[in-house]
Amino acid sequence: MKSQWWKAAILSAIALLLSTAMAMPSFSQDRSDTLLVVTEGGPNSMDIHGVGANFQVYGVTWNAYDRLLTYGKKTLPDGTVSYDFTKLEPELAQRWWLSADGMSVTFHLRKDAKFHDGTPVTAHDVKWSFDRAVIVGGFPTFQMNAGSLEKPEQFVVLSDHSFRINFLRKDKLTLPNLAVPVPVVFNSALAKRHATPTDPWAMAWLRNNTAGGGAYKVESWRPGQETVFVRNDDWKSGPLPKIRRVVVREVPSAGSRRALIERGDADIVLDLPARDFVELAKMANLTVIGTPVENAMMYVGLNAKHPPFSDVRVRQAVAYALPRKRIVEAATYGRSAPLVTPVASNTFGYDPKMSPYTMQNLSKAKALMAQSGFPNGFDTTLSFNAGFAATNEPMAILLQESLRLIGINATINKIPGAVWRGALLRKDLPVILNVFSGWLNYPEYFYLWVLHSQNSAFNTSSYQSPEMDKLIDAARFETDQKRYAEQVREFINVALRDVPILPLFQPSMDVAMQKRISGYTYWFHRQIDFRSLVKN
């Protein structure tokens, strides 16, 4: 017995040492020029145009690639810095000008810009990249279409450093849409070397490799473990970053991530439970920043295409059954903005007085269940992204309890973060907890993604409504502000009536960092921009 006890003790000690080694930085260089970011999950691809690319891919894209334009910055009332969606600034394009009739825009590219392999960036690369985005389908194509960028014929090479976009229509989202992560500029020569007749856009190769010219190069990527970035010292599209090397380490355990930031081993931590951020904010050696994510919403999605949630009365019953206040408090500890209407608090059209679901009303919910033919309820599943279990799990448990009160027995289904996007695309999940963040801060943009029948990527509720489609489409191109405001109220009211999604709260982009880190900027894509960070 004594021998067995010693063996067990030795094995436990070895396991502890191994786990500690896994959590600690895997590099020996001086930490002064290296940033260690710890996060719950990492990218499942290197290609934002790829099928099922998760939102961590946005961070890779933002730092490793250039776009023609970027956004300016502003200081928020709390003193923190945010991007400013009302200001467009140069990135790869030094300057641009609209035609006299307002039906095209011409860009003059930097002549000194080079890709990571030293190849000069030309307008031919921009053309190839934009053609790729509008042709490959899925998320990238829909994102381009959201700004009326729909056809390769719109993209015209004028010279090696001049590029024109011809407009299909006047659209206020066209230029802002060029500053989001999707319309990145690829090294087309490099990508073409890895293309095949059956894969002309090198989708297979670019899933595991980058072909960019951004401020950082991807030095290595170990899926499920870490992504390592190294500064591109030849970057010309902005001020050279101060930090030479960035390691983004995937640490699934929230407790381990918190321990790393508390001990000072990690520089920045993401994806902690809200309660941890509340407690870390009290520590003298740390800075905690929380920014309400513009045009974003955590919601319960109900599959409107498949019974029993195809019956609007069932969806309304769930809306009345939700204990929103309890759910939000359990998940966010006050670090969010509760929502009762399907529009974010800092987005045009927000008016909580519009909602009939401000309070839990079980009697009305039960009456609707009876009217729908399910007085005794039914069985279903409730799915969420396990990559954000710290927030999603307490919400799921409370939602499960509240559904049980009206006879709906929901089995909780945790889906790994790496395959969550793919699971949503199948459109066969009856109830989900999901978050969507609209990159462009316009209500019709959010609705175009989440509730328009033509969107196969993010209309996770399979909601089909010609009335809704017509209102969204009209608002996108409306120039009269009064009529635009009316259209926004109309499509919000349709969403409240049909309830394909049930808003819970507007999430906060929370980040904890050592006091020695400065230069943090909040961005709409909810990823860290390494380029502005400084480590003192």
The dotted CATH code for 296-506 is 3.10.105.10
Burial 430-452 (b: 16+ CB within 10 A, else e): bbbbbbbbbbbbbbbbbbbbbbb
Burial class of residue 349 (count of CB atoms within 10 Å of its CB; 0-12, 13-18, 19+): buried
Alpha-helical segments (H) within 372-450: 389-404, 417-426, 443-450
Determine the residue type at 126: V
pLDDT of residue 13: 42
Q: Is the pLDDT of residue 25 over 50?
A: no
Please check the confidence at residue 22 and state whether its pLDDT lies above 60.
Answer: no
pLDDT of residue 312: 98
pTM of the model: 0.86
Categorize the per-residue pLDDT at 270 as very low, low, confident or very high, splitting at 50, 70 and 90.
very high
Which residues, other chains included, contact 8 with Cβ-Cβ below 8 Å and sequence gap of 6+?
A: none
488, 344 contact by CB (below 8 A): no
Where b means 16+ CB within 10 Å and e means fewer, 285-294 reads ebbbbbbbbb
Collapsing DSSP to helix, strand or coil, 65 comes out as coil
Helix (H) or strand (E) holding 38: strand 34-39
At 30-64, the pLDDT tens digits run: 577 999 999 998 999 999 999 989 989 999 999 99
Over residues 277-326, the pLDDT tens digits come to: 999 999 999 999 999 999 999 999 999 999 999 999 999 999 999 998 88
Query: Is the pLDDT assigned to residue 24 strictly greater than 60?
Result: no
Residue 26 pLDDT > 60: no
- Considering the chain, what percentage of its residues have pLDDT values greater than 70? 94
What is the pLDDT at residue 28? 38
The domain locations on the chain are: 296-506
How would residue 8 be classed by pLDDT, with cut points 50, 70 and 90? Answer: very low
Top pLDDT among 30 and 346 is at 346
117 versus 417: which is more confidently predicted?
117
Instruction: Give the residue ranges of DSSP H helices in 379-508.
Output: 389-404, 417-426, 443-450, 466-477, 481-498
Predicted confidence band of residue 456 (pLDDT cuts 50, 70, 90): low
